[in-house]
Amino acid sequence: FNLFLFNFLHLIGPTQKMNLFQSITSALDNTLASDPTAVIFGEDVAFGGVFRCTVGLRDKYGKDRVFNTPLCEQGIVGFGIGVAAAGATAIAEIQFADYIFPAFDQIVNEAAKYRYRSGNMYDCGKLTIRAPWGCVGHGSLYHSQSPEAFFAHCPGLKIVIPRGPVQAKGLLLSCIADENPCIFFEPKILYRAAVEQVPVEAYTIPLTQAEVLQEGSDVTLVAWGTQIHVLREVANMAQEKLGVSCEVIDLQSILPWDIETVCKSVVKTGRLVISHEAPVTGGFAAEISSTVQEECFLNLEAPITRVCGYDTPFPHIFEPFYIPDKWKCFDAIKKMINY
């Protein structure tokens, strides 16, 4: 699939070296250029935002299309719902995912239910909410959270988390084009971490499809966003140190999630490890674990294992002990193989 994606992207047209935040800027640039109704708004987006994802867009498209808002997340999302309901393309930025909670009511009770409540007479499907997400090495309790599981409990939304520049652009453009309100979480620690050849022109990646990054026969490893890079390293460690073949799956879309791809892999390997930075209790790994147990019970060779954050607020100096690093994931694989 990776070779297919590589060839597909080069067929689109010229590519350019981009890191993750630049690929997001490129996606937003493509959208503003092709859709005259598209607007981008949020705290500090006019000058580029704290992570520079919107840099240069106000100068290029004008202050009526890229503009700052008051520091009020409920107001940002409420305004976005109105813009989208009026037929325009609304791209709202929440400066950090940790501060999306003041907008929780607007997202869960209004945006997600607007189409259903009106019997499809009205909708706000042209709303996309972007937010930097996950740990960054020094963010502590208010700048490191991974709140995807809160929204995965709400029908009517789509939740997407990319792992790199190519995925970020294609998935963001898919969110913007989708007819449902989408939340697009951007792993902030990856904004400048990797550079890839990314097509300059617009392209999309399906929102309902997980990607098998590495095929294997002994253990299935599932994650999304930053944790995918941890599991790829763990898969190499398992092969070198244990002779264990791991299949690595990037979920990409949290809601809806690709049950078929994950279950097909577990039927083959008989073992499943799921890892995310969010606390273990009620995290999305629990939903995956429950579904796979229901669908693949007779194929399992060991209990499904979740390697996640602890049930505490995200710490500061103790972050290295909190996050599900490669050693915790590697230890989980060893225990599963010896079960």
pLDDT-based confidence at residue 211 (cuts at 50, 70, 90): very high
Active site residue 143: yes
Q: Is the pLDDT of residue 10 over 70?
A: no
| Residue bearing tokens 């190519």 | 166
Half-sphere exposure of residue 55: CA atoms within 13 angstroms, side-chain side: 7
**Do residues 169 and 197 make contact, with C-beta atoms less than 8 angstroms apart?**
no
Q: Is the pLDDT of residue 27 over 60?
A: yes
Half-sphere exposure of residue 5: CA atoms within 13 angstroms, side-chain side: 15
Residue ranges per structural domain of the chain: 3-199, 211-338
Predicted TM-score (pTM) of this structure:
0.96
Mean pLDDT estimate for the chain: 96
| Residue bearing tokens 């700052």 | 68
Q: Is the pLDDT of residue 8 over 80?
A: no
Best CATH choice for the domain 3-199 from the list 3.60.70.12, 1.10.150.120, 3.40.50.970, 3.40.1350.10? 3.40.50.970
pLDDT at residue number 7: 59
Is-same-fold flag (3-199; 211-338)? yes
Query: Which are the contacts of 5, defined by CB distance < 8 A and separation ≥ 6?
Result: 166
Please write down the HEC assignment for all residues of 204-244.
CCCCCCCEEEECCCCEEEEECCHHHHHHHHHHHHHHHHHCC
Distances in Å between the alpha carbon of 297 and those of 60, 272, 275? 55, 12, 20
* Span 229-248, average pLDDT: 98
Q: Is domain 211-338 annotated with CATH 3.40.50.920? A: yes
pLDDT at residue number 269: 98
Query: What distance, in Å, lies between the first and last C-alpha atoms of the chain?
Result: 32
In this predicted model, what pLDDT tens digit does every residue of 299-316 receive, in sequence order? 999 999 999 999 999 999
In this predicted model, what pLDDT tens digit does every residue of 54-103 receive, in sequence order? 999 999 999 999 999 999 999 999 999 999 999 999 999 999 999 999 99
- Point out the catalytic residue in the list 43, 93, 110, 143: 143
pLDDT-based confidence at residue 194 (cuts at 50, 70, 90): confident
